Amino acid sequence: MYALTRQLAVVLLCMPIIAFAGTIKFSSKDLTGKEHRLVDYRGKWVIINYWATWCPPCLNEIPELVEFHEKHSKTNAVVLGVNYENVDDTYLKSFADEYLISYPILKADLNRTPPFGRLHGLPTTFVISPDGKLVDTRVGEVNLEWLESAIKPKGI
């Protein structure tokens, strides 16, 4: 019994701190300078998508993210696109216009690890529940079907 308890304690100590921290603190400015804080979206699902303009899978998923955001943003979910590269704001605004991106584009602080943990590739998408907890992560391209399933109550 003691060995099992000790093993469990080691496992728990090795788990990411975020699992015990409850809600995640996240904030970033968009291309207009408006601050977006995760707490501002309490009560909605938040899809946080880290991406770059040079990344082909990132570009492929933009229409799916736009469709999802437009379908849900007034009711139960939003998309926040976090650009993870060092590019000029003017270029990024032009890029967002060209790709018809309707969700907010935020700039990542490249000198800090994202609050959700280190990125293992782009794109990376984090799903935050309406109560502010990280509930899913996807490294690689997402599509509308995956986004819809990510916000459905489990077991339905």
pTM: 0.84
To which residue do tokens 């291309």 refer? Answer: 31
Q: Tell me what percent of the residues of the chain surpass a pLDDT of 70.
A: 83
pLDDT band at residue 23 under the 50/70/90 scheme: low
Give CA–CA dist 41/90, Å, rounded: 27
**22-150: CATH class:** alpha beta
Provide φ and ψ at 10, rounded to 5°. Answer: -65, -45
- For residue 31, the tally of other CB atoms under 10 A from its CB is 15
Instruction: Inform me whether the pLDDT recorded for 70 exceeds 50.
Output: yes
Provide φ and ψ at 45, rounded to 5°. Answer: -70, 140
Q: Tell me the per-residue pLDDT of 107-135, one tens digit each, with 9 for 90 and over.
A: 999 999 999 889 999 999 999 999 999 99
Query: What's the CA angle centered on 93, arms 92 and 97, to 5 degrees?
Result: 115
